[in-house]
Amino acid sequence: MKQIYLDNAASTTVAPEVVKEMLPYFSEKYGNASSQHFKGQEAKQAMEKAREIIAKSINAKPNEIVFTSGGTESNNLGLKGLFYSNYPDKNHIITTKIEHDCILNTCKWLEKQGAKVTYLDVDSKGFVNPEDIKKAITPKTILVSIIHGNNEIGAIQDLQAIGKVCNEKGVLFHTDACQSYTKTEINVKKMNLDLVTLNSHKIHGPKGVGALYIKDGIKITPLFHGGGHERKLRSGTENIPGIMGFAKASEVINKKDIKHMTEMKDKLINEILKIQDTRLNGPRDKRLCNNINVSFMNIEGEAVGGYLENDRIYTSTGSACLSNTLESSHVLKAIGLPPVQANSSLRISISKYTTDDEIDYFLEKLPKIVNKLREISPLVR
């Protein structure tokens, strides 16, 4: 039986052209980019070319891209690095209640170091109001950090409107763009972005590599100390195969792919909502092209996912980083869902490689599973 993978918000398959791009840097061009001899400079030149590709994709300059091990490290470097560079003169950070856990947990840790953090509410669709950000800014504010495309409910924030507020108030603006990168526009100049978190494994690249865009002139205190790699901001021998794969992956998804994913997403939403007592979580519009999140009343989302897995269809109930806990999603709670409804949620995330046949098979199986679970559920009495 064929496997159908619908958990692409957690991770994606590595594209064939990405694998091909990476292979020579394991066994042929394997030099250390800090070495001065030919083999080292061969690796360094390749890395700088990759840096140019990543920078161009968000309208940045190559020297503004710092390679990291992924989104979590980039978010930590951005928030902690700015805090240490500005404390105690400024110690206030503004974020939202629907951020990825690596932002929320970083903020909680920084509060123990003397930071003051404002966690803004969002509306029922998952959008933050730029006016709320404006009102929250104080003379002590260092940074506003707002996720671009939400990893659970797909809501795409209006970065241009938020960036305008931050620019007018003279406050730095960071976005976690791990889910949105290559799926929707990111233009650091037009959006007044000062820091942007990117990663590779959500876009058909390898795991363990990402980047942080840091606008020229912004001072960041490094988290790692060593040989002074990456403009002395991220010491450690660079992951050249990963970096080369990351750059190639940034070119994998095109407008045709986005159109294809959008059409499949819309079809999934339309068909799933035909199932009785089913709710879409997050917005219908201004949503990531590959994200669907729904709640089935009176049954557990984990149970739906388990039955789907029996048919070799792989989905999730939310962020993969929290899949080993039994806690309700903080994102669904923030948009107003009670625990029972939050626990009945299922996240379906598609990719450019998802086929119409796979979607049809999923849509054939899902209603039967939901109906079967409702027949045996003690909640339906």
Please write the tens of the pLDDT for every residue from 42-96: 999 999 999 999 999 999 999 999 999 999 999 999 999 999 999 999 999 999 9
Phi (first) and psi of residue 7, to 5 degrees: -130, 45
Please write the tens of the pLDDT for every residue from 219-275: 999 999 999 999 999 999 999 999 999 999 999 999 999 999 999 999 999 999 999
The predicted pLDDT at position 1 comes to: 62
The predicted pLDDT at position 327 comes to: 76
Window from 250-259, 294-303, 312-321 with minimum mean pLDDT: 312-321
Is 289 known to be catalytic? no
Percent of the chain residues topping a pLDDT of 90: 94
Sign of CA dihedral 158, 163, 168, 173: positive
Domains of the chain: 4-12+254-376 (3.90.1150.10), 16-249 (3.40.640.10)
Average pLDDT over residues 15-19: 98
Average pLDDT over residues 97-106: 98
The predicted pLDDT at position 291 comes to: 98
Q: What does pLDDT average to over the chain?
A: 96
Separation of alpha carbons 248 and 138, rounded Å: 41
Percent helix, strand and coil across the chain, each rounded to 5?
40, 15, 45
Give me Rg for the CA atoms of the chain. Answer: 21
199 and 171 Cβ atoms separated by less than 8 Å: no
Separation of alpha carbons 22 and 241, rounded Å: 5
The predicted pLDDT at position 319 comes to: 52
Separation of alpha carbons 262 and 257, rounded Å: 8
- Catalytic residue, chosen from 102, 178, 289, 321, is 321
Question: In this structure, how many other beta carbons lie within 10 angstroms of the beta carbon of residue 34?
Answer: 14
Non-local (6+) Cβ contacts of 79 within 8 A are 93, 103, 106, 107, 110, 143, 145, 174
Query: pTM value?
Result: 0.96
The predicted pLDDT at position 153 comes to: 98
Hey, what are 188's tokens?
């650091």
Non-local (6+) Cβ contacts of 221 within 8 A are 80, 81, 84, 85
Q: Are strands 210-214 and 195-199 parallel, antiparallel or unpaired?
A: antiparallel
Hey, what are 161's tokens?
């409107």
The predicted pLDDT at position 34 comes to: 95
Please write the tens of the pLDDT for every residue from 123-166: 999 999 999 999 999 999 999 999 999 999 999 999 999 999 99
72 or 298, higher pLDDT? 72
Q: Is the pLDDT of residue 381 over 50?
A: no
Separation of alpha carbons 198 and 54, rounded Å: 9
pLDDT grade for 326, boundaries at 50, 70 and 90 = low
The predicted pLDDT at position 377 comes to: 75
pLDDT grade for 328, boundaries at 50, 70 and 90 = confident
Separation of alpha carbons 381 and 379, rounded Å: 6
